[in-house]
Amino acid sequence: MAKGASHHPGTVRRDALKVLAAVVLAAGVSGPARGEADVTIGGQYRAMANTSNFGWHAGTITDDQATESFVNQRFRTWFNVKVEENVGGYLEIEAGHNTWGDQGNEFPKATTFEVRRAYLTYTEDELGEFQVGILPWSDAFGDVLASGDHDFNFGGVTYSKTFGEAVRFKLAALQIREKGESPPGTALPLPGNSGLYAGDLDFGKRVGLGVYYMDDRGGYSYGAHDPTDPLASDPSFGGPGAFYDVANGTEIWVGARARLGILDAFAIYNEGGVDTDGNGTNDWNHKGYAGKLGLLLPIGEEKAKLRLQALYSTGNDGTSATGSDEFRTIAQGMRDNFGAMGYWSMLGLTSPHGPSDVQDLGVSLQNRSLGLTTVQASLEVSVGESTGVYLAVGWLRSTENNANGEDDMGVEVLVECRHKLGEGLGLEVGAAYLDTGDFYKVNAGDPDPDDLFEVFARVQLEF
């Protein structure tokens, strides 16, 4: 979404008419011949407020952090159309995030609409199910590599087939494009273009295997950056420690997952390399791995749930200019080498958290190529029929030291309260606090960084 774009009122009306036309066509109600289509309409409408003393995906933390606040809103509407039992389509439109008082968008007169997802579905009992279009895709390891819920949505085709009652096979071929855009304050990535080919095999809910391959044909996975960019000397940005004229490479992930009673675990091996000068030979290679061990314990006839998880990924120790032991993710958050932004974490200030989705530091298993070690716990309690309380705590460190020689990222505490106001309408309030570690210092000799806080509220309608 282009923030700060100016819209003429006539343009806004034309945009609205285009969206309305697309909705009518997708719903199959453009004429009597399509009147038999089964159309389901859903939506997610939210307004939220946030106050914190850090910016979105902040790279460093000083000892004197300024407090910032904002209120914004987002609206998503989707149409699920079924013409026959095995033929259908899906369209999802989004308007947001619109910040209250943002005159750059002529608020509230103009709203930018975008198609978030749009695809066709064809199913045949013997053959399986095909989906083609703008699709959400998530890895089968809990959103640690890429998350469709966190907007990893790209054009392509998926195929799935169930054998018997237990075995399920799923394939995906997606096209990933990087437009060469970046937010203010980050290095400018050059245009990139990649193909992602994925396969998952699940044996019931207990055991699964996954193989994912990325063919990077122009700087998506490693982020080729303009060498003339003034931030080219900033070690927080770029690929594995350098800015490239080109960045063509390949990546592969091979993993296994298991769920046995109250325990779940995964192990993923990742290797790849990048050609930085266009001669067809990799100038840099890496091999890394990641793992998880989790536990889910229902308490009091499932009125409360205790979860524990420990995750580990390897990182780059900086001892070699031609390779490393780092673990990389499929999706690249912000194109700044932080890695995939999925809802894998129980925390909400250091990484995205599904129920709130407010400011966060952008921590992932890739973690700026340094790897991550974290232990987390959460407790979810139902209070009556309409209220729930969520508590979480987690300790984080980078597997390898940052450029300032530190690895302690801190300890986070998160508390949320959710209350059902009516059918589909809920209110959520919460706060998070990070006892910030020295990992976020700019330089080793700087004062200790400020502890971070965040307070948020959200009202949301889902139907």
**Do 108 and 101 touch, CB atoms closer than 8 A?**
no
Q: Is residue 306 part of a domain?
A: yes
Question: Which structure tokens are listed for 146?
Answer: 């890429």
Q: Is residue 4 part of a domain?
A: no
- Tell me the CB-side half-sphere exposure of residue 101, using CA atoms within 13 A: 4
Q: Is residue 210 part of a domain?
A: yes
**Do 255 and 210 touch, CB atoms closer than 8 A?**
yes
- What's the pTM value of the predicted model, to 2 decimals? 0.86
Q: Is residue 2 part of a domain?
A: no
Q: Is residue 256 part of a domain?
A: yes
Q: Is residue 1 part of a domain?
A: no
Number of structural domains in the chain: 1
The closest of 176, 207, 201, 200 to 189, measured between CA atoms, is 176
Tens of each residue's pLDDT in the chain, 463 residues? 333 333 333 333 344 444 444 444 444 444 434 557 899 999 999 999 999 999 888 889 999 999 999 998 899 999 999 999 899 999 999 987 778 877 665 555 556 788 999 999 999 988 999 999 999 999 999 999 999 998 888 899 999 999 988 899 999 999 987 654 444 444 444 456 789 999 999 998 899 999 999 998 766 777 554 444 444 444 444 444 444 556 678 999 999 999 999 999 999 999 998 887 778 888 889 999 999 999 999 987 778 999 999 999 999 998 888 889 999 999 886 555 688 888 999 999 999 888 777 889 999 999 988 999 999 999 999 998 899 999 999 999 999 999 899 999 999 999 999 999 999 999 999 999 999 999 999 888 999 999 999 999 999 999 9
For the purposes of burial, counting CB atoms within 10 Å of the CB of 405, is it exposed (0-12), middle (13-18) or buried (19 or more)? exposed
Q: What's 380's domain CATH number?
A: 2.40.160.100
Single-letter residue type at 367 = N
Q: According to the 3-state scheme, what is the secondary structure of the chain? A: CCCCCCCCHHHHHHHHHHHHHHHHHHHCCCCHHHCCCEEEEEEEEEEEEEEECCCCCCCCCCCCCCCEEEEEEEEEEEEEEEEECCEEEEEEEEEEEEECCCHHHCCCCCCCEEEEEEEEEEEECCCEEEEEEEEECCCCCCCCCCCCCCCCEEEEEEEEEEECCCEEEEEEEEEEEECCCCCCCCCCECCEEEEEEEEEEEECCCEEEEEEEEEEECCCCCCCECCCCHHHHCCCCCCCCCCCCCCEEEEEEEEEEEEECCEEEEEEEEEEEEECCCCCCCCEEEEEEEEEEEEEEEECCCCEEEEEEEEEECCCCCCCCCEECCCCCCCCHHHCCCCCCCCCCCCCCCCCCCCCCCCCCCCCCCHHHCCEEEEEEEEEEEECCCEEEEEEEEEEEECCCCCCCCCEEEEEEEEEEEEEEECCEEEEEEEEEEEECHHHCCCCCCCCCCCEEEEEEEEEEEC
**Do 140 and 202 touch, CB atoms closer than 8 A?**
yes
**Do 418 and 387 touch, CB atoms closer than 8 A?**
yes
Domain that holds residue 38: 9-462
Instruction: Please tell me whether the peptide bond between 97 and the residue prior to it is cis, using omega within 30 degrees of 0.
Output: yes
Strand 452-462 and strand 323-324: the pairing is: unpaired
Whole-number Å distance between alpha carbons of 147 and 352: 11
Q: Which residue has 């003339």 as its token pair? A: 228
Q: Is residue 3 part of a domain?
A: no
pLDDT given at position 230: 47
Single-letter residue type at 218 = G
Q: Is residue 200 part of a domain?
A: yes
